[in-house]
Amino acid sequence: MSGKVAKLYHTSGIKGFSEEELVLKYAPLVLKMVYRIAPIVRSVVDFDDLKSVGYFALVQAARAFDPDLGVAFEVYCKHRVRGAILDELRKNSPVTRTVYSKWKKLERTIQDQEEKFGRAPTESEIATALGTTVNGYRELLDELRLVAYVSLDEISSQESDTGEFTPFQLADLHQVDPAGQVTARDLQELVRERILQMSPQQKKTLTLYYYEGLRFKDIAALMKVSESRICQIHTEAIMVLRAFLDREQSLVNKL
């Protein structure tokens, strides 16, 4: 954020900008996030609805922003916009018992295959362990696409009265937690090491999507495959990563 904008926020907060001015200034930030998420969730939430959710979250972020915390507004805004989009997804497509069971079964299968081979299992190995074909496995990845995306923010095993499983909410950036920051750094290192062990396709997809900020459409063009195939690779990579982190957490709990 520029010094002029930071000073304006510091002295007058949201009063310095109208809602129209905020949307005009930060629309590219919101749209970039929506365009990147849309291929994953377009079967659940309308693109225009996602934009509306993003813009509303932008205004809320501006009203709640405190520059004294030392967090750039863009960082805080991205956090709030992404959280609002995830909340919208959860509201429109709750994780049902059936989907959750499929997700956990696939996670356990990946864990078992990794322990069996001492490496990340291939598509065909996972498919065989599941008792299906590679095409059947890819169809399962399509079904779990949204779950895998939301699972980055943890899906709890807490079952609601309606038989749905409620994801944990994103942490509040206003809450400074030194212990949590250390844990986050350790987690980032674990994730980095695990990504380096993934297949070339998985590693490249995650790197281009999360670190380079490319859309699935752009990644598909670079890798010369379909956009739907990139979505499948992304879902599989997230499942592999979640299986690894869950196994690591299980080992820690046994200590």
Strand partners, 72: none
Predicted pLDDT at 110: 93
Q: Which two three-digit tokens encode residue 124? A: 């065909």
DSSP label at 251? H
What pairing do the DSSP bridges indicate for beta strands 164-167 and 155-159? antiparallel
Predicted pLDDT at 196: 86
Q: Which residues contact 21 (CB under 8 A, 6 or more apart)?
A: none
Predicted pLDDT at 119: 84
Predicted pLDDT at 184: 60
DSSP label at 226? -
Q: In what order do the strands lie in the sheet with 95-96?
A: 95-96, 164-167, 155-159
- Whether 196 and 203 have beta carbons less than 8 Å apart is answered as yes
- Whether 137 and 126 have beta carbons less than 8 Å apart is answered as yes
DSSP label at 159? E
95-254, CATH topology level: Arc Repressor Mutant, subunit A (1.10.10)
- Whether 126 and 170 have beta carbons less than 8 Å apart is answered as no
The residue extents of the domains of the chain are 3-92, 95-254
Predicted pLDDT at 251: 64
Nearest CA-CA partner of 62 in 19, 105, 107, 11: 19
Predicted pLDDT at 163: 41
Predicted pLDDT at 255: 55
Q: What is the CATH number of domain 3-92?
A: 1.10.1740.10
Q: Over its length of 255 residues, how does the chain's per-residue pLDDT go in tens digits?
A: 444 444 434 434 544 678 888 888 888 989 888 888 877 776 667 788 889 999 999 988 888 887 777 777 888 888 889 888 888 877 776 667 788 889 889 999 999 998 898 888 899 999 999 999 999 999 999 988 877 776 555 433 333 444 443 333 334 434 445 555 555 677 677 778 888 888 999 999 999 988 888 889 999 999 999 999 999 999 999 888 888 887 777 665 565
Predicted pLDDT at 158: 39
| Residue with tokens 């499983």, as numbered in its chain | 165
What is the spatial distance between Cα 75 and Cα 53, in angstroms, rounded to a whole number?
17
